């Protein structure tokens, strides 16, 4: 195996000291521009690669940022990562992407690995199984900027970027009321998580504001997947006074609901209206396009990155920002009954 080129090899080739090569590679003002150019050109010809870890130890900055998400293969999280990269890459940062698979233990290990790698910051969405915050405190103790997005833990010294989930839940439910639905069910994922709790609270408030009594039978907890949505609808339709609509906190569960309604011969939206949450790409390409709440994930990623950059500019200041983006209701065919003025896509 061919050995890596070192600064000593470059120094030997140019008949100068290794110290001069090191200073030239690091743009030291004591080294002439002619020498810097000669060293850089020689290093390129010899395929020399600087040791990033060594540079990080020397400068205190690695120009690497860790991004932790529950799943990479969900459009919502991959779009957030895209936003983060689009904002950070032009500033000279590289993104290290990690996923937890909703495993709290893996999340702790991932945080430790990123700290060991000397990352300049960690941007993350918390796993739904995470209860302890000791690994987050470890990040803060190391003076590494930490920014939560979407799923968060309320902690002193930690900035957060979220959308107004309460508003999203309210808008979705009010829309169903506006199109004539009066028995509206809600499918949630986990009310222990703030994002789902706030969507549920928005749903309840919309019912109250329109004089519709909340029915605990219409609240169903389900996983964020298609099979779970199918099972949820089966259960709801067995009720003596079955619902005529559902607002799902997950597009995937909403898709399962629509598929099961079709199997049962229940017409959507004429007999049963459906609204999801997240605006996954499939929602607009279905034969019966799905109404949903858009979370602006790319903008969420960009905003989280900007908050991190602000913290890097003032490392000695304890900057803590709470940024809340506004959701957008997108009305499509799955809930467009009785509508005359709604925008439909």
* Tens digits of residue pLDDT in 75-108: 999 999 999 999 999 998 999 999 999 999 999 9
Give the separation between CA 43 and CA 164, rounded to whole angstroms: 51
* Tens digits of residue pLDDT in 202-223: 999 999 999 999 999 999 999 9
Rounded to 10 degrees, the C-alpha dihedral 259/266/197/159 comes to 50
Domains within the chain, CATH numbers bracketed: 7-50 (1.10.260.40), 62-163+296-325 (3.40.50.2300), 165-295+329-335 (3.40.50.2300)
Which residues in 67-91 are b (16+ Cβ under 10 Å) and which e? bbbbeeebebbbbbbebbbebbeee
Please count the helices (runs of H) and the strands (runs of E) in the chain: 13, 12
Name the average pLDDT for the chain: 90
* Tens digits of residue pLDDT in 333-343: 999 864 434 44
Q: How much is the pLDDT for 207?
A: 98
**pTM of structure:** 0.80
The answer to whether 222 and 232 have CB atoms below 8 angstroms apart is yes
């Amino acid at each position: 195996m061919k050995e890596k080129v070192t600064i000593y090899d470059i120094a030997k080739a140019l008949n100068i000291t290794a110290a001069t090569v090191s200073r030239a590679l690091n743009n030291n003002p004591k080294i002439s521009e002619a020498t810097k150019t000669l060293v850089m050109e020689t290093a390129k010809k010899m395929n020399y690669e600087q040791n990033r870890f060594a540079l990080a130890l020397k400068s205190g900055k690695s120009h690497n940022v860790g991004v932790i998400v529950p799943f990479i293969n969900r459009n919502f999280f991959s779009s957030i990562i895209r936003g983060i990269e689009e904002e950070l890459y032009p500033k000279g940062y590289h993104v290290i992407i990690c996923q937890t698979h909703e495993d709290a233990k893996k999340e702790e290990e991932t945080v430790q690995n990123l700290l060991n790698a000397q990352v300049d910051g960690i941007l993350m969405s918390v796993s739904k199984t995470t209860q302890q915050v000791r690994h987050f405190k470890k990040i803060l103790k190391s003076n590494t900027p930490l920014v939560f997005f979407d799923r968060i833990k309320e902690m002193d010294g930690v900035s957060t970027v979220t959308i107004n989930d309460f508003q999203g839940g309210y808008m979705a439910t009010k829309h169903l009321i506006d199109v004539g639905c009066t028995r509206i069910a809600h499918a949630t994922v986990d009310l222990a998580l703030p994002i789902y709790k706030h969507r549920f609270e928005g749903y309840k408030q919309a019912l109250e504001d329109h004089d519709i009594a909340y029915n605990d039978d219409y609240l169903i907890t389900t996983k964020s997947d298609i099979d779970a949505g199918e099972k949820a609808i089966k259960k709801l339709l067995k009720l003596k006074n079955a619902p005529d609509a559902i607002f799902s906190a997950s597009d995937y569960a909403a898709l399962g609901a629509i598929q099961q309604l079709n199997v049962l011969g229940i017409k959507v939206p004429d007999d049963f209206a459906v609204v999801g949450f997240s605006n996954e790409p499939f929602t607009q390409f279905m034969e019966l396009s799905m109404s949903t709440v858009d979370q602006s994930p790319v903008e969420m990623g960009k905003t989280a990155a900007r908050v991190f950059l602000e913290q890097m500019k003032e490392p000695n200041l304890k900057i803590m920002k709470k940024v809340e983006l506004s959701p957008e209701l997108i009305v499509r065919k799955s809930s467009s009954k009785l509508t005359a003025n709604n925008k439909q896509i």
